[in-house]
Every structure is written in structure tokens, then in C-alpha cells.
């Protein structure tokens, strides 16, 4: 089952996403604040700045504001 939760800092400058994905894909989009993701199980593939990334267990993903990205 795909689940996504969004959390924001009190200043709303930082966002954290907690998710469990099986078949979830997200289309090209951006955030208005910094977003941090820690891979605690499995892997994630995404495209950012025209480059493909594949991250796995223990890795951290940081997205700057207005950074277009997409993936699964």
C-alpha cells in the first residue's frame, strides 16, 4: 500500500516526507521549501537537473526549493 505523510517545520522552510511506496510514481513537480528524505528501506529512483539518481537504504535525499524532479 502506498502511503505518504508530509511534515513541516514551524518556520515552514523545511519539509519532511515519510512514505512507503510500492508502485507510486510522481510526475515532475517542485516544492516551495527544502525537503529531506531518508531511505530506511528499499530504494528510490528519480530524475533531477536532467540526471538520473538511484538511492537506497541509509541514503539521504535533499531537494532545494523550486528544484524540478520526478521519479518512483
33-48 tens-digit pLDDT: 888 888 888 888 999 9
Query: Cell numbers at residue 47, please?
Result: 530524475
pLDDT digits (tens, 9 = 90+) for 2-34: 777 777 777 777 877 777 777 778 899 998 888
Q: pTM (2 decimals)?
A: 0.71
d(CA 36, CA 45): 15
Distance CA 20, CA 14 (A): 20
- Rounded Cα–Cα distance for residues 38 and 11 (Å): 21
Query: Which domains, and CATH codes, for the chain?
Result: 3-71 (2.60.120.10)
Amino acid at each position: 500500500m502506498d502511503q505518504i505523510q508530509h511534515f513541516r517545520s514551524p518556520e515552514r522552510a523545511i519539509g519532511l516526507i515519510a512514505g512507503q511506496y510500492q508502485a507510486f510514481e510522481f510526475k515532475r513537480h517542485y516544492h516551495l521549501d527544502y525537503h529531506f528524505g531518508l531511505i530506511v528501506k528499499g530504494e528510490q529512483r528519480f530524475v533531477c537537473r536532467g540526471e538520473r539518481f538511484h538511492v537506497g537504504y541509509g541514503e539521504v535525499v535533499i531537494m532545494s526549493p523550486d528544484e524540478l524532479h520526478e521519479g518512483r
